[in-house]
Amino acid sequence: MDHFHYRGGHYFAEDVSLEQIAGDVGTPCYVYSRATMEHHWKVFDAAFGDHPHTILYAVKANGNLAVLNLLSRLGSGFDIVSGGELERVLQAGGRASEVVFSGVGKSEAEITRALEVGVRCLNLESAAELERVNRLAGDLGVTAPVALRINPDVDPGTHPYIATGLRENKFGIPPEEARCLYRLARDCQHVEVTGVACHIGSQLTQLSPFTHALDRVLDFVFALQDEGLSVEHLDLGGGLGIPYIDESPPQPDDYVQALLETMARRDCRLPVSIEPGRAIMGNAGLLLTRVEYLKPGNQHGFAVVDAAMNDLLRPALYQARHEVVEVSRGTDTPECYDVVGPVCESGDFLARDKLLSVKAGDLLAIRSAGAYGFVMSSNYNARPRPAEVIVDGSYHHVVRTRETTAQLFDNEQLVPQ
């Protein structure tokens, strides 16, 4: 569900026409719909009913301060994977006590800062990390709340770069090892193990990998309980997919129901958190771009636009497919185009084989670009990063101004002599 739609042949974000935004802000720019992102968050939250739960939005999907602030106002917690993301959450008004810190490579500085501000939990991924956290917590004179991230060895059936819950992936700890680690952690003075965590991948379009992984997590929890080790909460990660073109992933409420049913079947009433990122922001945003040139090609033409792989990396990185729509519905017979950017790489395409009725100067919207869009942008080819806009009903707010070319070399110095 999203709030992008045609009105009289013109594409709108909520009640604002994208032509108006392009006129005000220029292109390329990311446009997010507040109503859409809030709706997605609320569906996850409501689906839990009275089961104790927390929605921890995964900041890496879209970390714009305005996005984090709006979600924080709804009561969201946050899943972070770096010290930079922690500062973003705090800057946006998020509560440290609602932050969970994930990731395989937390540095000493990152762990210390997280303990100083008092995050809710550090999700640990190795014995070496347990040792480091225990030592740093001791230095600070605090007890670190931690969970162990289990690698359940479940195939999420997604692109290999975003599968994280297979034995061969770098993430998580195999359950057998995690049991030893739990015992070790019990003897660590400055660490308290409160939970078990798991995250098996992203853009999952089936429920069964989620429920299989949860079953493995529950096996693990019961095995711990048999040893007299208690677990206070489960963190089941994110990963629910979204429709980009023709995918039909489960609805968020069906996904939550499946998790709750799996737990009920095994008589588990532990509080649960989930960490959706893509499912909240993906379809709440698009990338607005203008056609610079139409160029004939061998099989079909190229629509050369002013956005590129540095603005939206997903097609180049994951062979991801995005829907492309005309902002003003054309009247000419549609023709087939590859939508490509100005960057000097043949991998610089945003979409392929699209039937479009366009001419130079027209606007296009690359849909489903609200997650893993701006956050992956770079300055490759010395291209300033795009602006970001949030539409709220009939208002639109620039929540990040377009980078200037002067900013590109702000941090650079010449070699003296």
Catalytic residues: 344
- Selected from 88, 278, 314, 396, the binder of ligand PLP by CB under 6 A is 278
Strand bridging mode 387-392 / 29-33 = parallel
Contact 18, 365 (CB under 8 A): yes
For residue 271, cis peptide bond before it (omega within 30 degrees of 0): no
Residue among 79 and 311 whose Cβ is closer to ligand PLP:
79
Q: Which is nearer to ligand PLP, 139 or 254 (CB)?
A: 254
Nearest to 368 by CA among 309, 264, 284: 284
140 burial level (CB within 10 Å; 0-12, 13-18, 19+): middle
Beta strand ranges found along 298-348 (DSSP E): 301-305, 324-326, 335-340
The alpha helices in 164-204, defined as continuous H runs, are 175-186
Q: Which stretch binds ligand PLP (CB under 6 A): 57-65, 249-257, 327-335, 341-349?
A: 57-65
Q: Which residues pair with 144 in a beta bridge?
A: 191
The residues pairing with 286 across neighbouring beta strands, listed in sequence order, are 31
Select from 28, 63, 172, 276 the one that contacts ligand PLP (CB under 6 A). Answer: 276
Q: Residue 33 or 202: which CB sits closer to ligand PLP?
A: 202
- Kindly give the residue spans of alpha helices, DSSP state H, lying in 55-97: 65-74, 83-91
Output 53 or 199, the one with its CB closest to ligand PLP. 199
Q: Which stretch binds ligand PLP (CB under 6 A): 270-278, 317-325, 357-365, 406-414?
A: 270-278
User: Which residue, 81 or 390, has its beta carbon nearer to ligand PLP?
Assistant: 81
Cβ pair 133, 144 in contact under 8 A: yes
Token reading at 356:
């479009």
> Which residue from 72, 82, 202, 368 is in contact with ligand PLP, where contact means CB under 6 A?
202
Residue numbers 368-407 binding ligand PLP by CB under 6 A = 371
- Smallest gap, in angstroms, from Cβ of residue 103 to ligand PLP? 7
67 makes contact with ligand PLP (CB under 6 A): no
Q: Which residue blocks in 118-164 are alpha helix, DSSP H?
A: 127-140
Q: Total binding residues for ligand PLP by CB under 6 A?
A: 18
Least distance between ligand PLP and beta carbon 355 (Å): 29
Q: Closest approach of Cβ 153 to ligand PLP, in Å?
A: 17
Residues that bind ligand PLP (CB under 6 A): 58, 60-61, 79, 81, 102, 199, 202, 237-240, 275-279, 371
